[in-house]
C-alpha cells in the first residue's frame, strides 16, 4: 500500500500526452507533418524546462500503437522525424545530462529506425540529470497484457505461486519497471482522455489539461504546469 509522504512541490516524474499537432497545422493551412515538426521544438522546450525545474523523469507519448492506423505518409513523416531528431538533438541532450530511454514495441519499426533509437539510448546512457522516456509504439493495454503473459509463464514454471502475485510483481513486469510512477500527467490541446497511456502507473497521478496545442507549448507553459502541480493536494486515498 502506498503511504502518504511529505508533499513534494516538484513532481519527480512528469508524463505528457503531446496532443494538437494536427490541429495546429490545420489552423495555419499547413500539412499535418508540419505540426509534428513544430512539435519537436516543443519537446526541446519541455526537456529544458524539466531539467531546470529538477524533474527527474519525463515521459513523452510520441507514438501510440493506434497511430499505425494514420495515413502512410503521416506515419512515414513521423518515422523520419524520429530519426532526424535523434541525430540533431543528441549533442544537446548529452550536454544537458539527459538520458533517453524507450518504452513500447520497438520491434515493429524498420531496422533503420530501430538502429537510430538504440543509438540515442547508447549515446545518452551517462545522462544523470533527467531520464527522458519516449513512449513509442506504446499501448498501455499491450504492456499490461505482456506483463500478464510474463507472470503467467513464471507461475506455469513454478517460479512464483499465484497467491504470491502482488502489485509489485505486476509493476516489475511492466515496461516501466525501472521508473517511479508518474506524479503529474499533462495532456495538451484541451482533450481530457488518457488514450491507452500508463493506465496502471497513473493510479495516483494528478492530471492537468491545458488548452495550448502541443507545438505552441513553451518553457513558460511547463513552469505554469509546475505551479498547478504545487497547488494540488495529494491524499492517496487518505483523508
Ligand atoms: C499528437 O497530435 C501527436 C503525435 C501523434 C505525435 C507526437 C510527435 C512529436 C511531437 C514529434 C517528435 C517527438 C519526438 C520525441 C522526437 P495529433 O497529430 O494527434 O494532433 P490532432 O489531435 O490535433 O490531430
For ligand 1, the distance from its centroid to the CA atom of residue 151, given in whole angstroms, is: 33
CA of 182 to the centre of ligand 1 (A): 20
The closest alpha carbon to 36, from 46, 49, 26, 48, belongs to 26
DSSP string of 58-119, one letter each residue: EEEEEEEGGGGGS-HHHHHHHHHHHHHHHHHHHHHHHHHTEEEEEES-GGGS-HHHHHHHHH
Residues 185-201: tens digit of each pLDDT: 999 999 999 999 999 99
Looking at residue 6, its pLDDT comes to 55
Which of 15, 16, 17, 21 should be mutated for ligand 1, with most atoms under 8 A from CB?
A: 21
Distance 74 CA to ligand 1 centre (A): 10
Distance CA 109, CA 107 (A): 5
Cβ–Cβ under 8 Å, residues 209 and 192: yes
Question: CB of 81 closer than 6 A to ligand 1?
Answer: yes
Q: Which atom of ligand 1 is nearest to the CA of 64?
A: 5
- Helix (H) or strand (E) segment spanning residue 185: strand 184-187
Q: Could you give the CA distance from residue 201 to residue 181 in angstroms, rounded to a whole number?
A: 5
19 is catalytic: yes
What is the pLDDT averaged over residues 228-232?
A: 94
Q: Which domains does the chain have, with CATH numbers?
A: 13-138+181-231 (3.40.1180.10), 140-179 (no CATH)
Mean pLDDT within 21-45: 97
Across the range 66-93, mean pLDDT stands at 93
Q: Which residue's CA is the nearest one to ligand 1's atom 12?
A: 40
Per annotation, catalytic residue among 67, 142, 146, 196 = 67
For residue 233, name the pLDDT band (cuts at 50, 70, 90): confident
42-79, pLDDT tens digit by residue? 999 999 999 999 999 999 999 999 999 999 999 999 99
Whether 67 is catalytic:
yes
Ramachandran assignment for 174, one of left (phi > 0), alpha (psi -120 to 50 degrees), beta (any other): beta
Q: 214 C-alpha to center of ligand 1: Å?
A: 8
Shortest-distance atom of ligand 1 to CA 89:
16
Distance of alpha carbon 216 from alpha carbon 7, whole angstroms: 30
pTM score of the predicted model? 0.94
Mean pLDDT of the chain: 94
Confidence of residue 94 (pLDDT cuts 50, 70, 90): very high
* Per-residue cell: 143: 504492456
- Per the structure block, which three cell numbers stand in for 194? 488518457
SS3 percent helix, strand, coil of the chain, rounded to 5, is: 50, 15, 35
Amino acid at each position: 500500500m502506498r503511504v502518504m509522504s511529505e508533499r513534494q512541490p516538484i513532481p519527480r516524474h512528469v508524463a505528457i500526452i503531446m496532443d494538437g499537432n494536427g490541429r495546429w497545422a490545420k489552423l495555419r493551412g499547413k500539412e499535418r507533418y508540419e505540426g509534428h515538426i513544430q512539435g519537436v521544438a516543443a519537446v526541446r522546450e519541455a526537456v529544458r524546462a524539466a531539467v531546470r525545474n529538477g524533474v527527474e523523469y519525463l515521459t513523452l507519448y510520441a507514438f501510440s500503437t493506434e497511430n499505425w492506423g494514420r495515413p502512410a505518409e503521416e506515419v512515414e513523416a513521423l518515422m523520419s522525424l524520429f530519426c532526424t531528431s535523434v541525430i540533431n538533438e543528441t549533442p544537446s541532450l548529452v550536454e544537458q545530462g539527459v538520458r533517453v530511454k524507450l518504452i513500447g514495441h520497438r520491434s515493429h519499426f524498420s531496422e533503420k529506425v530501430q538502429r537510430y533509437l538504440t543509438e540515442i539510448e547508447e549515446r545518452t546512457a551517462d545522462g544523470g540529470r533527467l531520464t527522458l522516456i519516449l513512449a513509442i509504439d506504446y499501448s498501455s493495454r499491450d504492456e499490461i497484457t505482456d506483463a500478464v503473459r510474463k507472470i503467467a509463464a513464471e507461475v506455469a514454471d513454478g517460479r512464483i505461486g499465484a497467491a504470491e502475485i502482488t502489485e509489485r510483481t505486476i509493476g516489475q513486469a511492466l515496461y516501466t519497471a525501472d521508473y517511479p510512477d508518474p506524479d503529474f500527467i499533462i495532456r495538451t490541446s484541451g482533450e481530457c482522455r488518457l488514450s491507452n497511456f500508463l493506465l496502471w502507473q497513473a493510479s495516483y497521478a494528478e492530471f492537468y489539461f491545458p488548452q495550448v496545442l502541443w507545438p505552441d507549448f513553451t518553457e513558460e507553459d511547463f513552469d505554469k504546469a509546475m505551479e498547478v502541480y504545487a497547488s494540488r493536494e495529494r491524499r492517496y486515498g487518505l483523508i
